[in-house]
Amino acid sequence: MLLIHCPYCEEARPEIEFRHAGEAHIARPADIASLTDEEFSRFFFYRDNPKGITFERWRHLHGCARFFNAARDTVTDKFLVTYPAGEAKPDLVEAANENAKGAT
Partner 1 sequence: MAEAMTIERRHPLAGHVFAGTGVALTPAHAAFRTSLRCPSASVPGLSDALGVALPRTPKTSVTEKGRSALWLGPDEWLLIDEKTDPMADLGGIDALHAAVDISHRNTAILVSGPGAADVINAGCPQDLSMEAFGTGACSRTIFGKAEIVLWRVKPSVFRIEVWRSFSDYVFGYLAEAARDGG
Question: Which listed residue (5, 13, 98, 99) binds partner 1 by CB under 8 A?
Answer: 13
Question: Which listed residue (66, 67, 92, 95) binds partner 1 by CB under 8 A?
Answer: 66
* Piece of 6-14, 20-28, 49-57, 91-99 that binds Zn ion (CB under 5 A): 6-14
The residues facing 3 across adjacent strands are: 14
Site for partner 1 in 46-65 (CB under 8 A): 62-65
Give yes or no for a contact between 24 and 56, defined as CB atoms under 8 angstroms apart: yes
What does the H/E/C string look like for 68-82? EEEEEECCCCCEEEE
Element (H, E) at 20: strand 19-23
Site for Zn ion in 41-80 (CB under 5 A): 60, 63-64
The residues facing 14 across adjacent strands are: 3
35 counts as binding Zn ion under rule CB under 5 A: no
Cα gap 29→6, rounded to integer Å: 29
Element (H, E) at 99: helix 92-103
Question: Which listed residue (5, 9, 57, 98) binds partner 1 by CB under 8 A?
Answer: 9
- Contacts with Zn ion by CB under 5 A lie at 6, 8-9, 60, 63-64
- Contacts with partner 1 by CB under 8 A lie at 1, 8-11, 13-14, 16-17, 62-66
